[in-house]
Amino acid sequence: MAARTPFVAGNWKMNLLLADAVALAEGLKPLVASSAGVEIAVCPTYTTLYAVGKALAGANIQLGAQNAYVKESGAYTGEISPQMLKDVGCSWTIIGHSERRHILGEDDAFLNEKTRFALASGLNVMFCIGELLEERKSGAMNAVLERQLTRGLDGLDAELARVVVAYEPVWAIGTGETATPDQAEEAHVFVRSVIASMFGEAAAAALRIQYGGSVKPDNAAELISRENVDGFLVGGAALKADSFAAIVNACAR
């Protein structure tokens, strides 16, 4: 098994009102309190971040946001800055989730700006990439992943150490269809090779690459057993404490 510490994060997406979000955090704490050798984070909605962060105080679960804007403050109605996220206890943000790329229309250049600003502001970034089913079928998958990485992470240097790449094939997100361990491993090997050509072999070897897309307790152990799978970004299964904890514990050593 690789020397990289597995990192499992829950992306709660646009789910859970305040009481339920806090209850989920409270329910999760005891289930992962003794999970060793794995890093854990949850990414609730903006409106529940503060309360969830309070509920998680002292626990081995970090707080992350699902998105962050490219300015510290000002006339940007509806946006949230990395500084505001840090203020409520976040150490992470997701950037470039496929729902933001495909539903909200965020492009590579904007995601690069977001990534750079979040990192410069002191947040760690889970940077998401992934191909559409048509792109996989037409043989364009590697070109798509390479474009998303080279444009999205352009201009980074030492800050790459605070980036985790999440490989999330769009056809596997929320569909119940998971990439096979072979498909995940193959994509992760390719991601690592692109990172090596951008930042060098040592940076590539140290980079953690999460898999995301219908990760469940019953497929997590097999996926994490692959050499280049360094954890998960979990959507649906992160909304129940027991299933998220089972995925975390599949990665514990």
Tell me which residues are annotated as active site.
Answer: 97, 168
Supply 175's token pair: 């569909």
11 in contact with ligand PGA (CB under 6 A): yes
Q: In angstroms, give the least distance from the CB of 66 to ligand PGA.
A: 9
202: left (phi over 0), alpha (psi -120 to 50) or beta: alpha
Task: Tell me how far apart the terminal alpha carbons of the chain are, to the nearest angstrom.
Answer: 10
> Is the separation of the CB atoms in 68 and 97 below 8 Å?
no
Report which of 202, 119, 107 is spatially closest to residue 155, judged by C-alpha positions.
119
Supply 96's token pair: 């470039």
Residues of span 196-225 touching ligand PGA by CB under 6 A: 212-215
Nearer CB in complex with ligand PGA: 96/203 = 96
82 in contact with ligand PGA (CB under 6 A): no
Using CA atoms, how far apart are residues 194 and 249, in angstroms rounded to an integer? Answer: 30
Q: Which of 30, 174, 197, 200 touches ligand PGA (CB under 6 A)?
A: 174
The torsion angle over the Cα atoms of residues 185, 212, 231 and 65, rounded to 10 degrees, is: 150
Size of the site for ligand PGA (CB under 6 A): 13
Q: Which of 106, 131, 135, 168 touches ligand PGA (CB under 6 A)?
A: 168
Nearer CB in complex with ligand PGA: 153/233 = 233
Q: Which residue is nearest to ligand PGA (CB)?
A: 235
64 in contact with ligand PGA (CB under 6 A): no
Binding site for ligand PGA (CB under 6 A): 11, 168, 173-174, 212-215, 233-237
